[in-house]
């Protein structure tokens, strides 16, 4: 190869999930010990049949192949604004919303709009690795907030405040959290908003898994009820998990209109618009699938309950640090081994494919991420049984 590759990009880690899935590629698994793949958060069920039928009809429509507006279909933006306004008891209009090709693109354009090379973004540990990878790609410095395992993964507000500098451009929170499953309290989120507003940076709140939180009777936070929310809040969302649309790539950014004007420039250069077929799927979901979505939330809550019961006492020394939505974060008992070695052993010897905590940042050697949403209840029980057989 005679041409030069971006030296900054060369320093970015390879996609972690692909790395882990290579551990089991090409292997066959016995019927009495099949592979239990909890490496990537993928719903274990297909989209609703009504949605599949609708999309099959839409493919035959010539307009489905066309671009949409840069910010997305107006009907989808209005529908999402109305739902968010209901869920958060706040004031949101379609002008506050841009539809993106998944939440990863939502995060990407948000960071490009907020920060320049050399700026800083506060990123709690353990982080969602694609967010850290993107910051590194842009030359933005991630400033890590230590993992607060004793508080089930909710960061310490003083630790956040202590790391603010004149170059801080954003604080990123993911709730319910990927990878830990932790669900942050409204009080904590609102404290972070005040901190961001007082210091002149953005609170970027990724609520991809909001539809799977434990309590949907009250808003996850009250920020959208404040008239000043656009001054510091940027909200990210994905339809991928709520409606089992991972491959359709449809997400959103909710923010003030001045930021949306800048985001539109980026979207026009990157994708022009999110795929129309995914936008149509999201719109159908918002209009017709509330009951279906709630049913899936209850299924995930039941799976989480089974998981918590298994770890009510540590399973062979494996301890449940936190869990919620789609994820559980486990502490493994092997102090002399790296998380990578433990995860590799689980894959090689027990046909359990999970991710080592080291894929989610420094200081995570004792942890493993489990995407339990991939498993049926009986498979979760089997997962716990196999952990009980681990010997290293």
- In a domain? residue 150: yes
Yes or no: say if 252 and 80 are a contact pair by the CB < 8 Å rule: yes
Domain at 299, CATH number: 3.90.1150.10
Give the C-alpha separation, 199 to 161, whole Å: 10
Last residue of a domain, one of 254, 271, 288: 288
Last residue of a domain, one of 251, 267, 288: 288
Let me know how long the chain is.
392
Give the C-alpha separation, 129 to 249, whole Å: 18
From first to last of its 392 residues, the chain has per-residue pLDDT tens of: 789 999 999 999 889 899 999 999 999 999 999 999 999 988 889 999 999 999 999 999 999 999 999 999 999 999 999 999 999 999 999 999 999 999 999 999 999 999 999 999 999 999 999 999 999 999 999 999 999 988 888 999 999 999 999 999 999 999 999 999 999 999 999 999 999 999 999 999 999 999 998 776 789 999 999 999 999 999 999 999 999 999 999 999 999 999 999 999 999 999 999 999 999 999 999 999 999 999 999 999 999 999 999 998 876 899 999 999 999 999 999 999 999 999 999 999 999 999 999 999 999 999 999 999 989 999 999 999 999 988 87
Specify the residue for token string 């880690």: 13
Question: What's the DSSP call for residue 328?
Answer: E
Last residue of a domain, one of 250, 270, 288: 288
What's the total number of domains in the chain?
Answer: 2
User: What pTM was computed for the model?
Assistant: 0.95
Q: Is the dihedral of CA 149, 151, 154, 159 positive or negative?
A: negative
pLDDT tens for 266-282 read: 999 999 999 999 999 99
**297 and 282 in one domain?**
no
- In a domain? residue 3: no
Give the C-alpha separation, 256 to 258, whole Å: 6
Expressed as residue numbers, the domain containing 139 is 49-288
The CA dihedral of 310, 313, 319, 325, to the nearest 10 degrees, is 40
Give the C-alpha separation, 297 to 303, whole Å: 10
Give the C-alpha separation, 7 to 122, whole Å: 24
Give the C-alpha separation, 343 to 314, whole Å: 18
The strand pair at 251-254 and 233-238 is best described as: antiparallel
Yes or no: say if 296 and 43 are a contact pair by the CB < 8 Å rule: yes
SS3 for 113? Answer: helix
**213 and 123 in one domain?**
yes
pLDDT tens for 81-134 read: 999 999 999 999 999 999 999 999 999 999 999 999 999 999 999 999 999 999
Q: Where does 208-326 show beta strands of DSSP type E?
A: 233-238, 251-254, 319-324
- In a domain? residue 344: yes
The token pair at 86 is 């209901």
């Amino acid at each position: 190869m005679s041409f030069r590759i971006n030296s900054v990009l060369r320093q970015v880690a390879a996609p972690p999930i692909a790395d882990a899935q290579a551990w089991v590629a090409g292997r066959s698994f016995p019927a009495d010990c099949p592979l239990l793949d909890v490496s990537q958060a993928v719903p274990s069920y297909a989209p609703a049949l009504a949605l599949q039928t609708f999309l099959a009809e839409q493919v035959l429509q010539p307009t489905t192949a066309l671009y949409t507006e840069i910010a997305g279909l107006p009907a989808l933006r209005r529908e999402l604004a109305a739902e968010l306004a209901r869920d958060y008891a706040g004031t949101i209009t379609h002008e506050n919303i841009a539809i993106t090709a998944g939440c990863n693109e939502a995060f990407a354009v948000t960071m490009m709009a907020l920060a320049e090379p050399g700026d800083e973004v506060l990123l709690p540990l353990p982080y969602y690795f694609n967010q850290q990878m993107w910051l590194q790609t842009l030359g933005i410095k991630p400033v890590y907030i230590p993992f607060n395992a004793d508080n089930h993964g909710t960061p310490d507000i003083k630790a956040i405040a202590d790391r603010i500098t004149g170059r801080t451009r954003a604080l990123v929170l993911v709730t319910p959290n990927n990878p830990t499953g932790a669900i942050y309290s409204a009080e904590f989120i609102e404290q972070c908003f005040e901190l961001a507003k007082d210091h002149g940076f953005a609170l970027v709140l990724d609520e991809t898994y909001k539809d799977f939180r434990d309590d949907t009777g009250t808003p996850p936070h009250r920020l959208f009820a404040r008239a000043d929310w656009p001054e510091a809040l940027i909200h990210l969302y994905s339809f991928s998990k709520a409606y089992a649309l991972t491959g359709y790539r449809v997400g959103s950014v909710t923010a003030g209109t001045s930021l949306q004007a800048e985001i539109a420039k980026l979207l026009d250069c990157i994708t022009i618009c999110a795929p129309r077929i995914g936008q149509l799927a999201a719109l159908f979901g918002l209009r017709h699938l509330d009951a279906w979505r709630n049913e899936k939330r209850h299924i995930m809550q039941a799976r989480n309950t089974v998981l918590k019961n298994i770890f009510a006492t540590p399973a062979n020394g494996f301890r449940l640090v936190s869990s919620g939505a789609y994820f559980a974060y486990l502490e493994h008992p092997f102090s002399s081994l790296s998380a990578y070695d433990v995860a590799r052993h689980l894959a090689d010897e027990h046909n359990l494919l999970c991710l080592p905590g080291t894929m989610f940042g420094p200081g995570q050697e004792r942890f493993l991420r489990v995407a339990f949403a991939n498993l049926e209840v009986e498979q979760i029980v089997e997962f716990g049984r196999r952990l009980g057989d681990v010997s290293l």
